Amino acid sequence: MSGEPKLKRVNSAKELAYELAMEVYELSKRFPPEERFALTTQIRRSSRSVCLNLREAWAKRRYEAHFISKLTDSDGENSETDSSLDFARDCEYISADEHQALTQMHRHWANVRTNDEEVRIVSYRVGKTTDFRSLTSDF
């Protein structure tokens, strides 16, 4: 990967989370071998987990506690990835510009996730204790 990560046009929090995980993967290919079982594995796992937890939340939308739990897990994994990016910058595995671009993308993800139409509809219905098991949209 050369230069700053480029954000593609995405339509949902899940798509943006996937794009971020792929950017982190490409960037982490440059980490030194001694980080293979430490920071490299950790940042790849947490960045992928953001997307995976969103998908799992959607799959479990029928069950309020599971849905909320998975959204919370997704937020936590996003924060963990953000912290791992700080370590990568401070260890000089990524440049300050790459760090800034990726952390801005992660913060943008949090805003997209908050405003994602599908997530917001289900969150609203959960909050209203409405039966939302009938939602059929493919997240």
What pLDDT does residue 131 have?
43
- The domain locations on the chain are 13-126
The pLDDT assigned to 138 comes to 46
Residue by residue, pLDDT tens for the chain (139 residues) are 445 555 444 457 788 889 899 999 999 999 999 999 999 999 999 999 998 998 898 888 888 888 888 888 888 898 899 999 999 999 999 999 999 998 888 777 776 666 655 555 445 444 443 444 444 444 4
DSSP 42-77: HHHHHHHHHHHHHHHHHHTTTSHHHHHHHHHHHHHH
Quote the pLDDT of residue 113: 64
pLDDT value for 119 = 56
pLDDT at 14: 82
| SS3 (DSSP) at 132 | coil
pTM: 0.74
pLDDT of residue 84: 95
CATH code for the part of the protein at 13-126: 1.20.1440.60
Question: Distance (Å, rounded) from C-alpha 126 to C-alpha 135?
Answer: 12
